[in-house]
């Protein structure tokens, strides 16, 4: 049950990206005499000013002062947005519905409080609409670290799994997943697929596409239906279809526990596998390793971005510890893991790091004395 919403701000509540980008262009030209481009800023979308300013400082070899640059950028921003900044489509209505439904609302922005205050002042969407506000100056680790969303959920006195993050940036979805929250993506800056692979459960154009609701139960029913419909039509649906095809050939005469798996590689290709048992039980190979073997055979060394695992148990089976270690050779902590029971339809979504927090890695010989 979702009881709280944790809103990212830039690209979700306000479309400040264009104005903040212009502020960077103006400030860097005025103060550092360089012309910053869209591409220069793209890697820092949603990460907050210290990360962007330090990144640009390094990239251009600048002699800069973080606080001075931050203030300069925010002053430009406050001037640029006067009378023109508006909340994004559907935001006011969504917040109004959420209030009626008794959802608790938090803002979690990587930017400083001063930028948020300027945006709130310019649009009239003030702090009275939210139960808790976390800004970038209150947390030491920026997104994709999960701490900002842990802090925001704690501020609402809710566990993260009862909170829905609304995000538009890839680093934000990763942060939401790492904190253990669900996440809804908006297409302000990215299309659907990259947001899914960063951890979004569902992606819509903007909040005007979110159906109306007036109670907590209604909100949760709407959200679940949105996720299910979206999943079926997305890359996740394709992955589940492949795993559901693979389970048909599962060879499990001893345990009768049939498993199908499908991995998505960074090349965008999907490979399937099923469990294959043996009269000498220990020789059995799990579905996940079967899918991984097929991917390596086809592509050589590759990276797994997502895996779907289907089984017939009422609660879908997670990968065994041996498979987790095997997959860790080709997958990072932010690989998406989807578990589905084809009997009950129960669906679970994790990031790999939650299932495999401590990977065994072989040190290079002689690396440690």
Cα 170 to Cα 65, 88, 186, 198: the distances in Å are 28, 19, 11, 6
Give min distance, CB of 322 to ligand THU, in A: 8
Beta bridge partners of 166: 7, 184
Nearer to ligand THU by C-beta: 125 or 286? Answer: 286
Strand 202-204 relative to strand 259-265, pairing: unpaired
Part of the chain binding ligand THU (CB under 6 A), chosen from 62-70, 78-86, 251-259, 291-299: 251-259
State the DSSP code for 218. Answer: H
Sign of the dihedral through C-alpha 298, 230, 347, 101: positive
Nearer to ligand THU by C-beta: 60 or 257? Answer: 257
The pattern of x and - marking residues 307 through 346 that bind ligand THU according to CB under 6 A reads: ----------x-xx--x-----------------------
State the chain's maximal CA–CA distance in angstroms. Answer: 75
- Footprint on residues 254-273 left by ligand THU (CB under 6 A): 255, 257, 259
Residue 315 has which token pair?
Answer: 């609660």
The pattern of x and - marking residues 270 through 299 that bind ligand THU according to CB under 6 A reads: -----x-x------x-xxx-----------
Nearer to ligand THU by C-beta: 89 or 245? Answer: 245
Give min distance, CB of 244 to ligand THU, in A: 14
Residue 250 has which token pair?
Answer: 């599962």
Nearer to ligand THU by C-beta: 48 or 319? Answer: 319
Give min distance, CB of 350 to ligand THU, in A: 14
Nearer to ligand THU by C-beta: 122 or 287? Answer: 287
Long-range contacts of 17-21 (CB under 8 A, 24+ apart): 17/45, 17/188, 17/189, 19/77, 19/80, 19/81, 19/84, 19/85, 20/73, 20/77, 20/111, 20/115
Residue 221 CA to residue 139 CA, distance in Å, equals 33
Q: Which of the following is catalytic: 161, 288, 299, 312?
A: 288
Active site residue 288: yes
Let me know the angle formed at the C-alpha of 109 by 187 and 68, rounded to the nearest 5 degrees.
Answer: 115
Number of residues counted as binding ligand THU (CB under 6 A) = 14
Give min distance, CB of 316 to ligand THU, in A: 11
Give min distance, CB of 259 to ligand THU, in A: 3
The catalytic site residues sit at: 288
Q: Which residues bind ligand THU (CB under 6 A)?
A: 252, 255, 257, 259, 275, 277, 284, 286-288, 317, 319-320, 323
């Amino acid at each position: 049950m979702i009881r709280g919403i944790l809103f990212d701000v830039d690209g979700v509540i306000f479309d400040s990206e264009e104005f903040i980008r212009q502020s960077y262009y103006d400030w860097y030209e005025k103060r550092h005499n360089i012309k910053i481009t869209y591409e220069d800023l793209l890697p820092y979308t949603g990460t907050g000013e210290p990360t962007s300013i330090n990144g640009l400082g390094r990239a251009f070899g600048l002699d800069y002062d973080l606080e001075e640059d931050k203030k300069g950028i925010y002053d430009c921003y406050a001037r640029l947005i006067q009378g023109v900044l508006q909340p994004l489509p559907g935001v006011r209505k969504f917040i109004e519905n959420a209030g009626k439904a008794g959802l608790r609302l938090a803002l979690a922005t990587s930017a400083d409080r001063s930028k948020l205050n300027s945006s709130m002042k310019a649009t009239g969407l003030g702090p009275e609409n939210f139960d808790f506000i976390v800004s970038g100056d209150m947390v030491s680790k920026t997104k994709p670290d999960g701490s900002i969303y842990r802090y925001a959920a704690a501020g609402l006195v809710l566990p993260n799994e009862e909170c829905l993050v609304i995000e538009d940036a890839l680093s934000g979805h990763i942060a939401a997943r790492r904190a253990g929250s669900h996440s809804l993506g908006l297409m302000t800056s990215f299309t659907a697929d990259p947001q899914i692979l960063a951890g979004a459960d569902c992606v819509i154009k903007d909040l005007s596409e979110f159906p109306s609701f007036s109670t907590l139960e209604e909100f949760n029913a709407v959200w679940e239906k949105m996720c299910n419909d979206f999943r079926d039509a997305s890359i996740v649906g394709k992955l589940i279809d492949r795993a559901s095809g693979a389970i048909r050939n599962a060879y499990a005469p001893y345990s009768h526990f049939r498993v199908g798996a499908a991995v998505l590689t960074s090349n965008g290709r999907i490979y399937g596998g099923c469990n294959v048992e043996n009269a000498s039980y220990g020789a059995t190979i799990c579905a996940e390793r079967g899918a991984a073997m097929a991917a390596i055979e086809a592509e050589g060394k590759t990276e797994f971005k997502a895996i779907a695992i289907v089984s017939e148990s009422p609660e879908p089976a997670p990968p065994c510890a041996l498979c987790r270690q095997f997959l860790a050779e080709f997958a990072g902590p932010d690989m998406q893991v989807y578990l589905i029971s084809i009997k009950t339809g129960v669906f679970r979504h994790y990031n790999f790091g939650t299932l495999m927090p401590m990977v065994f890695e072989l040190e290079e010989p002689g690396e440690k004395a």
